[in-house]
Chains A and B, each alone.
Chain A
């Protein structure tokens, strides 16, 4: 581990060249069960003007690291040794009062979700200007003028206007630009980026990433870039450290770590990153037979009520908001159909329609039977079409045991006789690679990935012909995502069920889907076979989406 030896015994002069050096730092949290270590013997150096990536899954301690550097630890945190030095100055020795002066001025932070990290009741301008007034002693007028300039540098076209807005009047990308402008406002020595694109849409994330690279070049700032996404990190950092269970398992240049990973865990992480060119889906069904035809389906939120339609018939077309409009897709027996799009594109609306959870206009044709309204969806359809939701925490009843949860569809549809239910539940658990003993557990005793497996087992318990997966991997860690996707493919192979897989992860979907439908602003903009993904006649929006996805970790951009 080259990075460690570099800092540990280096002479002071060498240490001072680095913007930040963390030396043999350990942190633990005091809990009812004693001290739980969060970070162990961390060594990490950020040379001046360089960006270091810190990559790890949830619970790896990467966020704890950020809080330690910012000296913003919860009251039960215990620092068990080591040093954190900002330009050679020991931060651990500073009082909270002294830190107040350093935060925002010498080091600042960009957060994951701009919609929660901005104060909803304060104008964006004031939220940038207050930092300038606090740390650079500017007057209000000077600070606002400077804020305008700072916002202009982040690529906002009319910064003056933006300053007067409240957070709810700006888009996610605009808000993140405000947060970035705030972080850069006092020209700090170090900026910590904590998953700054995770909460954003694909195209917006790409723009923010480009902005980050541009600002980095312009300002020569040193940065720590925290992320769970290896592919993404490879585009923006000079060096990378991989953290696992509070220990840095590997450090090195991007090329070194991705081309020749030394630690098993790094290899595992790299393997889990979806590679669009590595096909893992089931074989395409030989002779395509249509299972479900979605025919000009539309969903209008806030549609005029009967009363409104009676009194203001002219408004009928303009009232409300089309969540999805004129969608026509056919799902073939046994295939995996990918539906991709950004948030608000209407992809989840379609999932809800197919699951019978949403009123719609238009027609569904399921296995030769026409359905023209939600009320026409019968019990048989509900058994044959199952849905798995994004958040297993929300879709599993926290008070029911896993066995009860999986047995419910078995009882409801009389899939197996009563005395066989227990055995069938065990079988289903085994099918999703969980021990049969889990039947007695409650959802909170399982990890996120395990809970999602339970939700999948419940869907397949009804022996469906079509399973709708609505962002089922979005809330999971990378390595777990891959396992869940693999599991789905295996189940599809064994049961022959078709699957509508809704996701925003284009790399993942290109590994799994036979055909891909692209949605944008409630409309179907493109629908193509997977082999044609790179064909020239792709819709411009579909093309932009495909291009926005970070390249695979193994091949960083030159």
Chain B
């Protein structure tokens, strides 16, 4: 891969993030209404409001506020949570780690199951196995995650079965088994939709590749079917799948908010809902910015992976 390609992509990511900081700041700060009153409630004394305004720098002009916010971020200081009276970095950092554990589990499981399943469906096109997978995919994409989550809870976490805990979180460094038991249902909820999505994508790419001239040529060279599939067909079907997976990370970030709430998973999603309910502005800003950064970086990562898979992209 050429360095120029990498540098261009990196620059683009920085541009996006710069715009995002401004958007996040604008939405949370420049909205009508006084943040201090919103926080303290309408019965607050004028003195208290003035004190809070000073603490939040609301008495300064908006560009000064933006400047001090951004320069704080660049120094790793996101301010202090108004409700929890803790540094935002600490609050958000912990939640982010928990969410990342959940999302990564879902994504890894999905990737290692959905890609072979999609490829298999394409190879066995038109068979019962292909149709079954297709049906499953439709269900997966059609059901919103709160429905899937409820169904999973009813079947696997109802008191009479109690196979998995209905909610909560155990850190893997405390008890790996405990973490495993708690992560299954939320990861399955997130994974179902993703799996449907990715396996369908791989299937359609793969069936197209299998009909291409170069696959026919590979077979007519007498290569074994194993080599035709693994060396010739699969790598060419993966690049588009990776693009979809990176788009799905965007979905994952949205889905995680709902799923964490349902399964009481102490991650970014729950934190964001808590912060919104309690008008904890610094936390809202930090979480939103973090989600946008994750999204931008995952897109960058997928661009790099695609370039590694397909030599033609590297020079584009």
Residues of A bordering B, CB below 8 Å: 70, 72, 99-105, 108-109, 111, 113, 116-122, 130-131, 134-135, 166, 168, 179, 182
Interface residues of B in 167-221 (CB under 8 A from A): 212-214, 216-221
Q: Which 7 A-B pairs have CB atoms at the shortest separation, nearest pair first? A: A104-B222, A103-B222, A116-B213, A104-B221, A117-B217, A119-B214, A166-B311
Contact indicator B214/A103 (Cβ below 8 Å): no
- Residues of B close to A70: CB separation below 8 A: 220
Report the minimal beta-carbon distance from A184 to chain B, rounded to whole angstroms. Answer: 12
Report the minimal beta-carbon distance from B231 to chain A, rounded to whole angstroms. Answer: 7
Contact indicator B236/A120 (Cβ below 8 Å): yes
Docked pose: A104 CA to B228 CA in angstroms: 14
- Residues of B close to A168: CB separation below 8 A: 311-312
A117, A130, A166: the one within 8 Å of B312 (CB): A166
B310 within 8 A of A: yes
A102, A120, A122, A179: the one within 8 Å of B222 (CB): A102
Task: Closest A residue to B222 by CB, please name it.
Answer: A104
Pairs A–B under 8 Å by Cβ, sample size 27? A72-B219, A100-B222, A100-B224, A101-B222, A105-B222, A108-B220, A108-B221, A109-B217, A111-B213, A111-B217, A113-B213, A117-B216, A119-B214, A119-B217, A119-B236, A120-B214, A120-B311, A121-B309, A121-B310, A121-B312, A122-B232, A131-B221, A134-B221, A134-B227, A135-B222, A166-B311, A182-B221
Docked pose: A117 CA to B220 CA in angstroms: 11
Contact indicator B220/A119 (Cβ below 8 Å): no
Beyond A116-B212, A119-B214, A119-B218, 17 additional pairs, beta carbon < 8 A: A70-B220, A72-B220, A100-B222, A100-B223, A103-B221, A104-B223, A105-B222, A109-B217, A117-B216, A117-B217, A118-B217, A120-B312, A121-B235, A130-B231, A131-B221, A134-B224, A179-B217
Report the minimal beta-carbon distance from B309 to chain A, rounded to whole angstroms. Answer: 7
Contact indicator A116/B221 (Cβ below 8 Å): no
Report the minimal beta-carbon distance from A137 to chain B, rounded to whole angstroms. Answer: 13
Interface residues of B in 231-275 (CB under 8 A from A): 231-232, 235-236
Contact indicator B235/A72 (Cβ below 8 Å): no
Contact indicator A121/B212 (Cβ below 8 Å): no
Contact indicator A118/B214 (Cβ below 8 Å): yes
- Residues of B close to A113: CB separation below 8 A: 213
Report the minimal beta-carbon distance from A209 to chain B, rounded to whole angstroms. Answer: 21
| Also in contact, A116 and B214, with CB within 8 A (given A121-B236, A122-B232, A130-B227) | yes
- The number of residues on chain B lying at the interface, defined by a beta carbon within 8 Å of a beta carbon of chain A, is 22
- Residues of B close to A134: CB separation below 8 A: 221-224, 227
Docked pose: A99 CA to B222 CA in angstroms: 8
Interface code B64-100, partner A: CB below 8 Å = 1, 0 otherwise? Answer: 0000000000000000000000000000000000000
Docked pose: A99 CA to B246 CA in angstroms: 42
Task: Closest B residue to A110 by CB, please name it.
Answer: B217
Report the minimal beta-carbon distance from A553 to chain B, rounded to whole angstroms. Answer: 29
- Residues of A close to B309: CB separation below 8 A: 121
Report the minimal beta-carbon distance from A65 to chain B, rounded to whole angstroms. Answer: 14
Docked pose: A101 CA to B220 CA in angstroms: 10
Docked pose: A377 CA to B32 CA in angstroms: 54
A109, A116, A122, A130: the one within 8 Å of B220 (CB): A109
B213, B219, B231, B235: the one within 8 Å of A103 (CB): B219
Contact indicator B310/A117 (Cβ below 8 Å): no
Report the minimal beta-carbon distance from A268 to chain B, rounded to whole angstroms. Answer: 31
Task: Closest B residue to A99 by CB, please name it.
Answer: B222
- Residues of B close to A135: CB separation below 8 A: 222
Docked pose: A135 CA to B227 CA in angstroms: 13
- Residues of A close to B219: CB separation below 8 A: 72, 103
Report the minimal beta-carbon distance from A176 to chain B, rounded to whole angstroms. Answer: 12
Contact indicator B216/A72 (Cβ below 8 Å): yes
A102, A108, A117: the one within 8 Å of B213 (CB): A117
- Residues of B close to A122: CB separation below 8 A: 231-232
Task: Closest A residue to B312 by CB, please name it.
Answer: A168
Report the minimal beta-carbon distance from B208 to chain A, rounded to whole angstroms. Answer: 13
Report the minimal beta-carbon distance from A272 to chain B, rounded to whole angstroms. Answer: 28
- Residues of A close to B227: CB separation below 8 A: 130, 134
| Also in contact, A130 and B221, with CB within 8 A (given A119-B232, A120-B312, A121-B236) | yes
Docked pose: A72 CA to B236 CA in angstroms: 22
Interface code B120-132, partner A: CB below 8 Å = 1, 0 otherwise? Answer: 0000000000000
Report the minimal beta-carbon distance from A305 to chain B, rounded to whole angstroms. Answer: 18
Contact indicator B223/A121 (Cβ below 8 Å): no
Docked pose: A179 CA to B214 CA in angstroms: 11
Task: Closest B residue to A75 by CB, please name it.
Answer: B126
Docked pose: A121 CA to B214 CA in angstroms: 11
Report the minimal beta-carbon distance from B313 to chain A, rounded to whole angstroms. Answer: 10
- Residues of B close to A131: CB separation below 8 A: 221-223
Docked pose: A351 CA to B213 CA in angstroms: 31
Docked pose: A111 CA to B219 CA in angstroms: 13
Docked pose: A118 CA to B217 CA in angstroms: 7
- Residues of A close to B218: CB separation below 8 A: 119
Docked pose: A285 CA to B63 CA in angstroms: 77
Docked pose: A113 CA to B217 CA in angstroms: 11
Task: Closest B residue to A112 by CB, please name it.
Answer: B213
- Residues of A close to B223: CB separation below 8 A: 100, 104, 130-131, 134
Report the minimal beta-carbon distance from B180 to chain A, rounded to whole angstroms. Answer: 37
Docked pose: A70 CA to B221 CA in angstroms: 10
Docked pose: A182 CA to B218 CA in angstroms: 11
Docked pose: A108 CA to B222 CA in angstroms: 9
Task: Closest A residue to B209 by CB, please name it.
Answer: A119
Contact indicator B220/A103 (Cβ below 8 Å): yes
Report the minimal beta-carbon distance from B119 to chain A, rounded to whole angstroms. Answer: 16
| Also in contact, A117 and B214, with CB within 8 A (given A166-B312, A168-B312) | yes
A72, A103, A109, A120: the one within 8 Å of B310 (CB): A120
Task: Closest B residue to A71 by CB, please name it.
Answer: B220
- Residues of A close to B235: CB separation below 8 A: 121
Task: Closest B residue to A102 by CB, please name it.
Answer: B222
Which of the listed residues A100, A119, A135, A179 has the most CB atoms from chain B within 10 Å of its own CB? A119
Docked pose: A72 CA to B312 CA in angstroms: 30
- Residues of A close to B217: CB separation below 8 A: 109, 111, 117-119, 179
Docked pose: A273 CA to B212 CA in angstroms: 32
B214, B216, B220, B310: the one within 8 Å of A104 (CB): B220
- Residues of A close to B216: CB separation below 8 A: 72, 117
Report the minimal beta-carbon distance from B238 to chain A, rounded to whole angstroms. Answer: 10
Report the minimal beta-carbon distance from B130 to chain A, rounded to whole angstroms. Answer: 15
- Residues of A close to B311: CB separation below 8 A: 120-121, 166, 168
Report the minimal beta-carbon distance from B158 to chain A, rounded to whole angstroms. Answer: 48
- Residues of A close to B310: CB separation below 8 A: 120-121
- Residues of A close to B214: CB separation below 8 A: 116-120
Report the minimal beta-carbon distance from A119 to chain B, rounded to whole angstroms. Answer: 4
Docked pose: A168 CA to B216 CA in angstroms: 19
Docked pose: A102 CA to B312 CA in angstroms: 33
Docked pose: A103 CA to B225 CA in angstroms: 13
- Residues of A close to B225: CB separation below 8 A: 100
Interface residues of B in 263-315 (CB under 8 A from A): 309-312
Task: Closest B residue to A106 by CB, please name it.
Answer: B222
Task: Closest B residue to A105 by CB, please name it.
Answer: B222
- Residues of B close to A108: CB separation below 8 A: 220-221
Docked pose: A182 CA to B220 CA in angstroms: 11
Docked pose: A135 CA to B214 CA in angstroms: 19
